[in-house]
Amino acid sequence: MQTAEFANHTGVDLKELFVRVEYDRELLRDVLEIFTEEFLKLHALLQRAVERGDAERIQNEAHTLKGMLASLSFGKASASAMRIERLARQADLAGIQEEMAHLEYEVPFAQANLKKVCEEIW
């Protein structure tokens, strides 16, 4: 399976991620630990902003999530956060719920696949 196909299939571009952490297993573990904690906080803030219909807050939280997800090479999840950010910027709150569902699927999917790969190599 080609790298791009693997990334599309798993939700995470492992090659890109391993290069980012310079193939340092400890660093990757630390990054994933921090991500798990921070994602839950940021997702909760984003969800509250969506519930309130606060477009500016949605945009800010989605932007932060987009960067965090991109730094872990979670391409599909990062793209969902980017679409949420764009919809909020355009004050198009109707489409945000659908993108939230994508985000809420893609992040755990990528996390689970990354965890599985890490367990296999460690």
Average pLDDT for residues 102-122, to the nearest whole number? 88
Per-residue model confidence (pLDDT) at position 118: 81
Answer whether residue 1 shows pLDDT above 70: no
CA contacts within 13 A on the Cβ side of 28: 22
Answer whether residue 8 shows pLDDT above 70: no
Distance from the Cα of residue 49 to its chain's centroid: 18
pLDDT averaged over every residue in the chain: 90
Answer whether residue 37 shows pLDDT above 70: yes
Average pLDDT for residues 12-33, to the nearest whole number? 91
